[in-house]
Chains A and B, each alone.
Chain A
Amino acid sequence: MKKSLILIILLVILSLGIYGCGGDDSSKIKIGVIAELTGDVPAVGTSCKNAAEMAVQEINDAGGIQLGEKKYQVKLIIEDNAGKAEQSASSAQKLITQQKVTAIVGPNASRYALPAAEIAETSKTVLITPWSTAPKATLDSKTNVSKKYVFRACFIDPFQGGVLAKFTLDNLKLKKAAVLYDVASEYNKGIAEIFKDVYEKNGGKVVAFETYTTNDKDFSSQLTKIKQANPDVIFLPNYYSEVPLQIQQAKRLGIKAPFIGSDSWGSEELVKLCGADCNDYYFSTHYAADSASDTTKKFIANYKAKYGTTPDDVAALTYDSFGLLWQAIKTAGKNDRQAVRDALAKIPQYEGVTGNMQFKEGSGDPVKSAVILKIKDGKFTWFANAKP
């Protein structure tokens, strides 16, 4: 009896706490962020959070956003989705209905962006995912027509898969590829299938197409099979936390073929976890920190000063998502979800830190180029550009 009383009192205090946080923020523009701060890709979430905080601080330090007579400060509300699809959806719901945000940035990984995007679309709130490259994120799940309220700051997988397939054939001149990918993840699966398709259409041969499921640590069986097929190159469109294990196990099994990867490799964590084992491999990504425009250089310098690390692609894309959002809010001229959405869709040309971008007519996917990076002595260095 006593215990249940304490429990009830605790619950009441807790609920008061939540209620009490409401407060009056009518003079502020609220932007929500959903990031993978814990779970399987925390480096992604942390970069996203860092870049978001930096973008908001910059605009607030500059006095806020001028709408009509008044200058509005921006209030950032960050939610952790814990690396879970269902929590991504509930975070989006919470931001939209409880916090009443104007727009949402994130989640980043496609498997989390998809459920959150569904919620945003039905609630008619703009959601920009910085890093989700799966085509489905911006498409309606039933009709396959573009969603109206979901945008992204990156290119999409068909483009990236195609770029990598052609790069392997034309630049590396490797005609026999093997693929090992996570079949339980939207992103990995999508990009692996497109790579195979484009690679085989252009004269290459995929000699092994192997799968595993998220959180597997042992790939010895699949890699032994790949070794048996004797490929020239192995494509690993997987996340940075798994790629080092795959490469190290492959080397232990005596595989000598080089590896290539996709933008999910582009975290400094990859080099930390992989050490020298990942040197001299290529991957495609959104921007190169070493060959950059003035806008990009300024962003990199500011980010380094604030957080002490070079911003990865997630940070750069999150920063661009906020850039797009500021421009849309300014053009809209009011703090209104519908007006911001309409302005965002019509942005003529945005010069971001990851290059120039523009949304395709009636779609949330921007037209922009990709870069191929090479890992040299543990550093990501620019190797080639790939235009859309």
Chain B
Amino acid sequence: MAYIFQQSLNALQLGSIYALIALGYTMVYGILTMINFAHGDLFMVGAFFCFLIAVYLHLSFVPTLLLSMLGVAFLGVVIERFAYKPLRNAPRVSAIITALGVGLFLENFTLALSPYPKHIPQLLGNTTWTLGSLSLSSLQILIIALSLVLMLILDFIVQRTKAGMAMRAISWDKTIVPLMGVSVDKIISLTFAIGTGLGGAAGVMYGLAYPIIDPYMGIMVGWKAFICAVVGGIGNIRGAMIGGFILGAVEIMVAAFLPSTYRDVVAFTLLLILLIVRPYGILGKPQPQKV
């Protein structure tokens, strides 16, 4: 029993990080119907900001987290302004290729600075509590709690504020919304800032949980988070959260009860089946093509 509970905690930790990153994919898709493939690398940049701030500015956890989020959000807005905006009316393939290019640029730029894996110093005292054979670490609880708080804040912004309403409106119909006096550019920038900022937060938390970071760390995690976003129904914010927790749970539980070699095979087969049953993802709705 303790074993299952321990594995569930592991799953929650991994899932909350996936969910945070998946949100960035889904928000950008929702508003621009474009997949920002550089998002995984922005997540990596978040972890590197955390490293730089912790090592060179010696700040404590909260300012490190906020500064890293701000830094990544700013970078996200800049990338949108200079790389994606000129392509807003270009074929979608061009935008995707640009996103891939931006991702490669971020990877190789970080690589050029230093190819060595970096070690993020411990920003928080880490206590481990043992209850019978169950081990709870303060870090694990912090990651899960903080991710949930961030997701609740996001949900509040999107569902209850004017800016959130504008975001939802743009994702509904991009041509009508500007006629209502909403500045589309501003809302798109805001979406990028929030989406990439969450990716940056995920980078910081990932860096705390797995404190060895390298320029390629965003590739695999980014792909997995993208899958989470698709499984949850791309464009749907709550779907991305659910998708993240599902993938985290599947990955951990497959390795927990089957030989760990089969983890990815089983995990992705399950996801494929899920997509066959629900092609638009768990919360996604089919969008009829208008002819």
Interface flags, B185-226, vs A, CB<8A=1, else 0? 000000000000000000000100111101011011100000
Task: Determine if B126 is an interface residue (Cβ-Cβ < 8 Å).
Answer: yes
Interface flags, A223-246, vs B, CB<8A=1, else 0? 011011000000000000110110
Q: Given A38-B111, A254-B135: A220 and B13 within 8 A (CB)?
A: yes
Across the interface, A224 reaches (CB within 8 A) one of B117, B220, B256, B263, namely B256
CB neighbours (8 Å) of A39 from chain B are 115, 216
Task: Determine if A280 is an interface residue (Cβ-Cβ < 8 Å).
Answer: no
Interchain residue pairs with CB less than 8 A apart (28): A39-B115, A42-B115, A43-B116, A183-B261, A211-B261, A212-B260, A215-B217, A215-B219, A217-B221, A218-B13, A218-B209, A220-B14, A221-B7, A221-B10, A221-B252, A221-B255, A221-B263, A241-B212, A248-B211, A251-B128, A252-B126, A252-B139, A253-B6, A254-B128, A254-B133, A254-B135, A273-B117, A273-B212
Closest 10 CB pairs of A and B: A254-B135, A220-B10, A221-B255, A217-B210, A42-B115, A221-B252, A38-B115, A273-B119, A252-B137, A211-B261
Task: Determine if B41 is an interface residue (Cβ-Cβ < 8 Å).
Answer: no
The residue in chain A whose Cβ has the minimal distance to the Cβ of B114 is A42
Task: Determine if B172 is an interface residue (Cβ-Cβ < 8 Å).
Answer: no
In chain A, positions 29-50 with a C-beta closer than 8 Å to chain B are 37-40, 42-43
Q: Give the one of B11, B209, B255 with max A CB within 10 A.
A: B255
CB neighbours (8 Å) of B11 from chain A are 221
Interface flags, A21-33, vs B, CB<8A=1, else 0? 0000000000000
CA A272 to CA B220, docked complex, whole Å: 25
Q: Given A42-B116, A215-B220: A220 and B252 within 8 A (CB)?
A: yes
Please state if B116 and A222 are interface contacts (CB–CB under 8 Å). no
CA A274 to CA B87, docked complex, whole Å: 45
Please state if A269 and B264 are interface contacts (CB–CB under 8 Å). no
CA A211 to CA B261, docked complex, whole Å: 6
Task: Determine if B109 is an interface residue (Cβ-Cβ < 8 Å).
Answer: no
The residue in chain B whose Cβ has the minimal distance to the Cβ of A240 is B117
Please state if B126 and A210 are interface contacts (CB–CB under 8 Å). no
CB neighbours (8 Å) of A272 from chain B are 119
Interface flags, B133-152, vs A, CB<8A=1, else 0? 10101011000000000000
Across the interface, A228 reaches (CB within 8 A) one of B3, B115, B137, B253, namely B3
Please state if B117 and A241 are interface contacts (CB–CB under 8 Å). yes
CB neighbours (8 Å) of A254 from chain B are 128, 130, 133, 135
CB neighbours (8 Å) of A228 from chain B are 3
Looking at the assembled complex, report how far the CB atom of A45 sits from the nearest CB atom of chain B, in whole angstroms.
8
Q: Give the one of A224, A251, A253, A275 with max B CB within 10 A.
A: A224
CA A213 to CA B251, docked complex, whole Å: 12
Interface flags, A198-215, vs B, CB<8A=1, else 0? 000000000000111101
The residue in chain B whose Cβ has the minimal distance to the Cβ of A255 is B135
Please state if A211 and B115 are interface contacts (CB–CB under 8 Å). no
In chain B, positions 1-52 with a C-beta closer than 8 Å to chain A are 3, 6-7, 10-11, 13-14
CA A253 to CA B220, docked complex, whole Å: 24
B residues with CB within 8 A of A: 3, 6-7, 10-11, 13-14, 111, 115-117, 119, 126, 128, 130, 133, 135, 137, 139-140, 206, 209-212, 214, 216-217, 219-221, 251-253, 255-256, 259-261, 263-264
CB neighbours (8 Å) of B6 from chain A are 224, 253
CA A248 to CA B14, docked complex, whole Å: 16
Across the interface, B216 reaches (CB within 8 A) one of A183, A215, A249, A275, namely A215
In chain A, positions 145-202 with a C-beta closer than 8 Å to chain B are 183
Q: Given A244-B212, A245-B211, A253-B6: A217 and B117 within 8 A (CB)?
A: no
- Dominant secondary structure at the B interface: helix
Looking at the assembled complex, report how far the CB atom of B280 sits from the nearest CB atom of chain A, in whole angstroms.
29
CB neighbours (8 Å) of B14 from chain A are 218, 220
Looking at the assembled complex, report how far the CB atom of B4 sits from the nearest CB atom of chain A, in whole angstroms.
10
CB neighbours (8 Å) of A251 from chain B are 128
Please state if B3 and A224 are interface contacts (CB–CB under 8 Å). yes
CB neighbours (8 Å) of B210 from chain A are 217-218, 245, 249
CB neighbours (8 Å) of A43 from chain B are 116
CB neighbours (8 Å) of B220 from chain A are 215
Looking at the assembled complex, report how far the CB atom of B130 sits from the nearest CB atom of chain A, in whole angstroms.
6
Across the interface, A269 reaches (CB within 8 A) one of B10, B117, B133, namely B117
CB neighbours (8 Å) of A38 from chain B are 111, 115
The residue in chain B whose Cβ has the minimal distance to the Cβ of A239 is B117
Q: A215-B217, A217-B217, A253-B6 are in contact. List 7 more A-B contacts (CB 8 A).
A: A217-B221, A221-B260, A224-B256, A252-B137, A254-B130, A269-B116, A275-B119
The residue in chain A whose Cβ has the minimal distance to the Cβ of B9 is A220
CB neighbours (8 Å) of A253 from chain B are 6, 135, 137
Interface flags, A346-386, vs B, CB<8A=1, else 0? 00000000000000000000000000000000000000000
Please state if A225 and B111 are interface contacts (CB–CB under 8 Å). no
Please state if B115 and A222 are interface contacts (CB–CB under 8 Å). no
Please state if A37 and B117 are interface contacts (CB–CB under 8 Å). no
CB neighbours (8 Å) of A42 from chain B are 115-117
Please state if A241 and B264 are interface contacts (CB–CB under 8 Å). no
Looking at the assembled complex, report how far the CB atom of B246 sits from the nearest CB atom of chain A, in whole angstroms.
15
CA A245 to CA B118, docked complex, whole Å: 12
Q: Given A221-B255, A224-B3, A225-B255: A213 and B10 within 8 A (CB)?
A: no
The residue in chain B whose Cβ has the minimal distance to the Cβ of A214 is B220
Please state if B255 and A222 are interface contacts (CB–CB under 8 Å). yes
CA A222 to CA B10, docked complex, whole Å: 10
Q: Given A38-B111, A224-B7: A252 and B119 within 8 A (CB)?
A: no
CB neighbours (8 Å) of B214 from chain A are 40, 241
Looking at the assembled complex, report how far the CB atom of A99 sits from the nearest CB atom of chain B, in whole angstroms.
24
CB neighbours (8 Å) of B209 from chain A are 218
Looking at the assembled complex, report how far the CB atom of B150 sits from the nearest CB atom of chain A, in whole angstroms.
20
Q: Give the one of A183, A217, A228, A254 with max B CB within 10 A.
A: A217
CA A267 to CA B14, docked complex, whole Å: 29
CA A40 to CA B115, docked complex, whole Å: 8
